[in-house]
Structure 1
Amino acid sequence: MNVGRGYRLSEFLIWTRRELYVLLALGVVPVCLYELAQWRWLTVPWTVVALIGTATAFIVSFKNTQTYGRTLEAQQVWGGILNVSRAWGLMSRDYLKDERLTRQLVDRHLAWVTVLRYQMRRQRAWESTGRRTNAEYQRNYHVPEQETALEAELARLLPPDELAAVLAARNKATQLMSHQSRAIRELFERGEIVINFFIELEKVLKELLDHQGRSERIKNFPYPRQYAIINTFFIRFFCVLLPFGLLKEFDALNAIANGWMKGHMVWLVIPFSVMISWMYTTLEQVGASTENPFEGGANDVPIAQINRMIEVELRQLLGDADLPPLLRPKNNIIL
């Protein structure tokens, strides 16, 4: 997530420079053939280009709206995890008299949040961080899950036997929830908590599992591929046709032009076609980078920071003085 005032134009230009090179070539070739080779027939009616551009604009707008909705839902899910975690910390502290047992419940919960964020960072085939432009931009910020192994994170929170069982499980987050539920049941059977407290704690676990399921759905079910690919096809088709549609329009401006540009107005097709096409391709690229809010991109939901906030607040509830620091952004990006 970008926590600064925004991205600079220079960052966008560097991020999209490969597309700009292609768009520049798409603009130069038709103009050279039209003006230098005198291929005056090399035009496309502007009405055709305008209709395709309008349809493309609707498709791009639809996709960006949907991808923003996915990111917004991911923010809501992890905001919910933060709020329920606070409730879990208070209940664990106030429902139990034994501080050791309270710490076990809190540590296991912190392990669950940690495991869930690591699961969310696993790469999927449809995600865009593997693209060259996004991979290059990743050098500007930290992805915590790529810097520290999950086992090292869990080793400070779980006993060795439980750690081994969790690491061996296919869905580690669900496995931890199973251990947490079993621990609560054992506390109830030993008389450490009354039935009302037991029921309340189980309700919190159910709510956390609901947040886990919603987070997994966003991660494991991408924006529909048929819409994503048709969006790409339309944009590329429009960018190819746009210079051909502008040739006759700019050539007609020679009749009213004066000075050194008279007779050469068609060359303006190059900068204007690049500028218009760049707007479409950049919108498509922004939508693709927003589509998967857990992939490790610069616009991700900051789940590692939320995890750290949960740990700091829960350890404060337990009276700990040696608290881990909050994560610091690098180049205004924090994950």
Structure 2
Amino acid sequence: MNIASHYKLLHFIPWTRTKIYKMLLLSTIPTVLFYFLDIKWLAIPWVPVALLGTATAFISGFKNTQTYNRMWEARQIYGAIINSSRALGIMVKDFVRTSDKVEQAALHKEIIYRHFAWLTALRFQLRETKSWENIKTKSYNKEYLQYYQVPEWESNLDEELKTFLSAEERQYILSTKNRATQTIARQSSQLKTLNERGIISDYNYVALANQLKDLYDQQGKCERIKNFPYPRQFSSINLYFTNLFCILLPLGFIGEFSKLTEKFGESMVWLTIPFSIILGWVFLVLEQIGESTENPFEGGANDIPITQISRNIEIDLREMLGEKDLPPAISAQHTIVL
């Protein structure tokens, strides 16, 4: 997530420079052929270009709207995880009661720390790279990684879980396929045991079980976004329309500017190049921005800051436990927070 007021051109232009090079090539070649070799058929009417441009604008707007909705839904999900985590913290503090205060404090810590393990396992799962994601495959995205680091790519889940789980439980969780799911399953198993021992009343046990169910719901929503890409048919048609429009755009400009040669001279046709670059760049950048917003958990600069959110939850719940030695909040790297 970028927390600056906007992207600076110093960063935005290099990120999209390949689009500028592409339009420079697509506009220069037909202009040179038209001007020097007098290939008149390259000048096409503006009407078909305008119609294609309208269709391209429509499909680009549709894609960007839908990818933004995916990103915003992901942010809402993690907002719900914040609320559910805090609710779980106060329920554990108030519902898990024993006559032995030392045992009670140990149980509170064990249950809440297991929740930290769930948050950790979930964010590691969400940062796994899928075949359709582009953060590691597109050159312009890979270059932008120089401005920040993805914590889940730099650290190890095993090491992260050592702080929150016993060695035995950690090894069990790591041996499973869906670590986050099995962490909540272990959480539920312990709550059931505490209920059977009378440490948690039946009514409070049901309330805590509902909190775990809500966490499962939020996890499932995250997995739905993570494991189901933006539909490929819509992504493909947007790519095809945009590229076809950018190919025809210079030809339409040649046709329009060639009409002005009698009044202003033949050099007017060279305006095709700058105007094509500017307008083509706009459409290509719209396509690129939509692509970069498709997958809000992949590790891009515009992703949901799940690492920061998880750390903030950890700080809140550690304070509920009365701890003073708190981990530092996640700070921005070049205005980017993950």
Q: Shorter-normalised TM-score: what interval? A: over 0.9
The whole-number CA distance in structure 2 between the counterparts of 1:293 and 1:57 is 23
2:106 matched residue in structure 1: 100
The whole-number CA distance in structure 2 between the counterparts of 1:166 and 1:89 is 22
1:288 is matched by which residue type in structure 2?
A: E
2:143 is matched by which residue type in structure 1?
A: E
* TM-score normalised according to structure 1 size: 0.97
Kept in 2, the 8 Å contact 1:305–1:334? The answer is yes
2:6 matched residue in structure 1: 6
The whole-number CA distance in structure 1 between the counterparts of 2:134 and 2:283 is 18
2:117 matched residue in structure 1: 111
The whole-number CA distance in structure 1 between the counterparts of 2:139 and 2:35 is 35
1:163 matched residue in structure 2: 170
In the TM superposition, what whole-angstrom CA distance separates every residue of 1:45-88 from its partner, at most 9, and x where no partner exists? 21111111100000000000000000000000001001100001
2:218 matched residue in structure 1: 211
2:54 matched residue in structure 1: 54
1:60 is matched by which residue type in structure 2?
A: S
Displacement of 1:241 = 0.6
1:4 is matched by which residue type in structure 2?
A: A
2:74 matched residue in structure 1: 74
1:304 is matched by which residue type in structure 2?
A: T
The whole-number CA distance in structure 1 between the counterparts of 2:186 and 2:11 is 46
2:248 matched residue in structure 1: 241
The whole-number CA distance in structure 1 between the counterparts of 2:255 and 2:214 is 62
2:286 is matched by which residue type in structure 1?
A: L
Kept in 2, the 8 Å contact 1:2–1:299? The answer is yes
User: Of residues 267, 273, 277 in structure 2, which corresponds to 1:274?
Assistant: 277
For these two proteins, the number of residue pairs brought into alignment is: 331
The whole-number CA distance in structure 2 between the counterparts of 1:11 and 1:277 is 19
In the TM superposition, what whole-angstrom CA distance separates every residue of 1:150-177 from its partner, at most 9, and x where no partner exists? 1111011000111011001011111001
1:292 matched residue in structure 2: 295
1:83 matched residue in structure 2: 83
2:199 matched residue in structure 1: 192
1:144 matched residue in structure 2: 151
In the TM superposition, what whole-angstrom CA distance separates every residue of 1:89-127 from its partner, at most 9, and x where no partner exists? 111111123110011110000100110010000000111
1:298 is matched by which residue type in structure 2?
A: A
Q: Secondary structure of 1:41's match? A: helix
Identity %: 47
Displacement of 1:223 = 0.4
Say whether residues 1:230 and 2:250 are aligned partners.
no
Kindly report the root-mean-square deviation, in angstroms, between the aligned alpha carbons of the 2 structures: 0.8
Displacement of 1:254 = 2.7
Displacement of 1:248 = 1.6
2:181 matched residue in structure 1: 174
Gaps of 5+ in 1: none
In the TM superposition, what whole-angstrom CA distance separates every residue of 1:260-280 from its partner, at most 9, and x where no partner exists? xx3311000000001000000
Displacement of 1:245 = 0.9
The whole-number CA distance in structure 2 between the counterparts of 1:166 and 1:19 is 45
User: Of residues 116, 119, 123 in structure 1, which corresponds to 2:129?
Assistant: 123
The whole-number CA distance in structure 1 between the counterparts of 2:113 and 2:336 is 28
The whole-number CA distance in structure 2 between the counterparts of 1:12 and 1:23 is 17
2:162 is matched by which residue type in structure 1?
A: A
Moved more, 60-69 or 140-149: 140-149
The whole-number CA distance in structure 2 between the counterparts of 1:41 and 1:278 is 25
The whole-number CA distance in structure 2 between the counterparts of 1:15 and 1:60 is 19
The whole-number CA distance in structure 2 between the counterparts of 1:204 and 1:42 is 66
The whole-number CA distance in structure 2 between the counterparts of 1:248 and 1:5 is 40
- Runs of 4 or more, structure 1, over 4 Å off, are none
User: Of residues 311, 326, 329 in structure 1, which corresponds to 2:329?
Assistant: 326
Displacement of 1:253 = 2.0
Q: Secondary structure of 1:271's match? A: helix
Moved more, 73-82 or 44-53: 44-53
In the TM superposition, what whole-angstrom CA distance separates every residue of 1:199-239 from its partner, at most 9, and x where no partner exists? 00000000000000000000000100011011101100100
Displacement of 1:331 = 0.7
Displacement of 1:251 = 1.4
2:315 matched residue in structure 1: 312
Kept in 2, the 8 Å contact 1:142–1:334? The answer is no
The whole-number CA distance in structure 1 between the counterparts of 2:266 and 2:123 is 61
Displacement of 1:10 = 2.7
